[in-house]
Structure 1
């Protein structure tokens, strides 16, 4: 179901609060109408030389009281209405973040971070400005125009009022002509800001690559281009906005000119008094500000409409990974028995299947290792197990249940996964290891770090587990990030553990220590290990070899070696590589010995 209009739903939700704000603003507007009346009376008495000292004091006191009343009620109404706009800003930004959390990984694969940041900051900021300045100015203009015109007609002269107001409908025609242009240019300006934000984010995230490849000059050129484009789009918008404002002011000024000329003639012909003429022009001056503001509001509304459309596009994007209608809410735990039956899967944008006819069983408490070339579908298989993507119904089963029957919260809460990218948050090491809805004790965090063989590294930091990490954990080495990610997964003590090529950045000695430490964790837990090193997978109860989305070999380590296929070929190549590394190490040792001997001689 599509979401309601943001502005309209906000007004409906806070209708009584807006009525209260309008009432306070109405009192302020009514008080403003007393100023022209007092000025008119004062002028007439002054012209007729009947003004006394006491009456002068009386007029001054009344105008002071009225001025204080206007200031109080106008400020109160402004604070009241502005508070509502800030509440809307907070609510929309919170709902936007909450909605993003519900969307699948596929959605974020197709979005730029700069665009998302622009939506959350710039677009929501425009929404706030519309409900802050826009609503306030509309209410004030509506109230002042109505009561001022009534006062001008009833207390001064209907003909003068009509003639003076004749140019003002041109403002509506002007707003109509600028409507689509301003909205279109507002969209272009927001897109340019998104491009610029994406450029900065990409540069800061890849700063090490930029410096390593000496690309500072090229990056500066790209930034300058996007920066200039943003300036150009903003200039276009400002030119249109300024032209609209200038023409609006010209129409308002023409109304003043008509008032002075025609009103002056009426005073000379004694149709109206000088006091009424002063009062009329004071009424008109009270009107001109709100009327000019209406022109600005039209521009602001167009920007708001463009921002609202961008936000509504996000809100109306439905998550494609949700609890299925088959889901049974009573399922709180899983044991870890996995079965896959004739699974064929394609990504939405792919032209051919990524996985084809996958069938296998992983018994509870056993281990499965997956090896294969890059792009063979290994990670896709485990992503389907945690439903980062939806497998076809009737293909993936856990504990004999179709995976679609298991609520997402239960499924993902019972699976611990160490992904390839080892993403860490820019908080403390303790927060990254204990990244879970339920709290963990310091002892549990320390124990998980020891199993992952990262405790000794953490102990060397001055702040130890309270060490704050940089963006994406950049202050740690690749191996340290992998081991912290492993600690984050195993501290959950999940029913199913998945290691997606999570030992690639550690040396073979550390790998052996980690695998040894994981034995106690893996005991009675279903474990899936994706790896390229045979040493990290050879102890698994079952090993499958994938190639081009299919299982081409399966069995134990010994059985696969006897088949003399892809697995055996990988094993022998890695043995040769290891032997070459060892020989290189021995050669370096011999060379060092000769050098030391020569130096001694």
Structure 2
């Protein structure tokens, strides 16, 4: 559904609330008109020498009552209208986050984190300011200008009012001239903030690499450059904003000058009384604040329009991975039989296919291992199985159903995947293992940790499973993060288990323990293992070898060794590497002993 606006839809959905807020603000504005009239009466009576004590007290009391009424109704109207703006801010930010959840991984591949943060915080904040200060000031100014002008015409002098108000329409022309400039500069300022946020996020995420390569100075220079750019963009915006404010104040000041000069002449000619002159200038003083605020509102509205356009661009980005029109809601469970028929797949911006003519069948409850060089398409294949990307129709089947016929919630709920990047959230270990819509008991979390061979590491922490992890789980080692990710997948007890190179950060002994523990979990479950170590895949029911997006070999471990092809070559090289490591370890002991003996002799 194409979304056309944010502001107007909010106003329409809360129309009566805005009417109530406007009514309260109108009462406050009407009460303000009593002050000039009371001051005029006081001045006329004082000039005539007819002001009595009782009259002075009565006028003072009425002024106090009017002031209290103004304060009361203005405060209530502000609370009423400002609450609506906070509701809009909360709703838009919630809708934005919900919409992001619907978008595919490909969308986030093309976005910077700094831009996303700027949209969620800065742009939504501007939206709030527009509905908070902008609407309030516009309502107050429009009503107060109308009623004040009527009062000035009817109670003082229409010609004085007309001539005094003549310069004010120039404010509209001024606002029109500054319109596009302020809007563009606001967009540039938000973009500069996004760049700066992205720079900080990238630096903090890669702080260990920065320090390891002694790049602090280079990073500081890059940050200084982005920081200065943000300052320059803000200065441009402030200059335009200040110039607009100064010119607006100049126009308002000229109206005051006309009022004082022309009004003074009319008083000297007895066209108006001194009290009417005081009342007129008090009316004009009441107008000046709202009129000047209108100038500020014009700037705010332009910033709001720029932010609204950026947010609408996100809201109108349609998710490319949703339940297909052919999806069958009655499919609730999967047994795990997988078949791929002549699958060829290209990423949206890729020039060449990543996968070419892939065909294979994985019976339910069996295991498939995928090996191959880096970039051969192994991870892409499993990403298509969970529809992180959309495969062509009639190419990927689960339980005999085209994957497009299976609701996304069912498909992803029945597949447990251990991703390659081992991402963990900065919450507790327990929350990371139990990361699922379904609640899990402590016993289930402990069982999953034991199967993943991470339980012994967890209980060594002071808070054990309630240990809070740092950003991206940084307080754990690479191997521990992988094993927590494995526990997170197996606790679901899914129909299909996918391990995307999930044992690369553990040693061979831990790998054997994990594989042994996974036997009970993998029993009667379809399992797909992507790996580089032959030791982690050799027991699979079938193994495929991929190269440049194609399946170049397939079979069992023994069958592939007999073919003496790419798989056999990988196995041979890994065996040589293991033998070399073993020999290095055997030679290291005597070498260390000789070094220690030599050091002892030198010391003696």
TM-score by length of 1: 0.99
SS at structure 1 position matched to 2:459: helix
Mapped partners of 2:292, 2:580: distance in 1: 81
Q: Deviations over 1:285-327 (max 9, x none)?
A: 0001000000000000000000000000000000000000010
SS at structure 2 position matched to 1:499: strand
Structure 2 match to 1:556: 556
Mapped partners of 1:558, 1:74: distance in 2: 84
Give the aligned CA root-mean-square deviation in angstroms: 0.9
Structure 1 match to 2:67: 67
Q: Deviations over 1:84-140 (max 9, x none)?
A: 000000000000000000000000000000000000000000000000000000000
Alignment pair present for 1:103 and 2:103 = yes
Mapped partners of 2:541, 2:307: distance in 1: 55
Structure 2 match to 1:194: 194
Per the TM alignment, residue 273 of structure 1 is displaced from its structure 2 partner at its CA by 0.4
SS at structure 2 position matched to 1:387: coil
Structure 1 match to 2:139: 139
- Matches of residues 77-476 of structure 1 in structure 2 within 5 Å? 77-476=77-476
Per the TM alignment, residue 255 of structure 1 is displaced from its structure 2 partner at its CA by 0.2
Per the TM alignment, residue 559 of structure 1 is displaced from its structure 2 partner at its CA by 0.1
SS at structure 1 position matched to 2:390: coil
Mapped partners of 1:592, 1:234: distance in 2: 63
The verdict on how the C-alpha distance between 1:598 and 1:298 changes in structure 2, with shifts beyond 3 A counting, is: closer
Mapped partners of 1:536, 1:93: distance in 2: 45
Per the TM alignment, residue 4 of structure 1 is displaced from its structure 2 partner at its CA by 3.0
Mapped partners of 1:13, 1:4: distance in 2: 15
Mapped partners of 1:436, 1:27: distance in 2: 54
Mapped partners of 2:538, 2:398: distance in 1: 25
Mapped partners of 1:69, 1:186: distance in 2: 38
Q: Deviations over 1:564-586 (max 9, x none)?
A: 00000000000000000000000
Per the TM alignment, residue 596 of structure 1 is displaced from its structure 2 partner at its CA by 5.9
Q: Deviations over 1:532-575 (max 9, x none)?
A: 00000000000000000000000000000000000000000000
Mapped partners of 1:590, 1:367: distance in 2: 44
Mapped partners of 1:430, 1:396: distance in 2: 34
Structure 2 match to 1:515: 515
SS at structure 2 position matched to 1:460: coil
The answer for unaligned runs of 5 or more in structure 2 is none
Per the TM alignment, residue 592 of structure 1 is displaced from its structure 2 partner at its CA by 3.2
Per the TM alignment, residue 589 of structure 1 is displaced from its structure 2 partner at its CA by 1.7
Per the TM alignment, residue 332 of structure 1 is displaced from its structure 2 partner at its CA by 1.0
The verdict on how the C-alpha distance between 1:597 and 1:190 changes in structure 2, with shifts beyond 3 A counting, is: closer
The verdict on how the C-alpha distance between 1:558 and 1:46 changes in structure 2, with shifts beyond 3 A counting, is: same
Structure 1 match to 2:534: 534
Structure 1 match to 2:478: 478
Mapped partners of 1:468, 1:241: distance in 2: 46
The verdict on how the C-alpha distance between 1:262 and 1:596 changes in structure 2, with shifts beyond 3 A counting, is: closer
SS at structure 2 position matched to 1:328: coil
Mapped partners of 2:447, 2:180: distance in 1: 62
Mapped partners of 1:331, 1:338: distance in 2: 15
Mapped partners of 1:246, 1:594: distance in 2: 84
SS at structure 2 position matched to 1:448: helix
Mapped partners of 1:145, 1:297: distance in 2: 15
The verdict on how the C-alpha distance between 1:157 and 1:596 changes in structure 2, with shifts beyond 3 A counting, is: closer
* Count of residues paired in the alignment: 601
Mapped partners of 1:4, 1:108: distance in 2: 23
Mapped partners of 2:108, 2:101: distance in 1: 10
Structure 2 match to 1:505: 505
Per the TM alignment, residue 590 of structure 1 is displaced from its structure 2 partner at its CA by 2.3
- Matches of residues 562-601 of structure 1 in structure 2 within 5 Å? 562-595=562-595
Per the TM alignment, residue 331 of structure 1 is displaced from its structure 2 partner at its CA by 1.0
Per the TM alignment, residue 330 of structure 1 is displaced from its structure 2 partner at its CA by 1.1
The answer for unaligned runs of 5 or more in structure 1 is none
TM-score by length of 2: 0.99
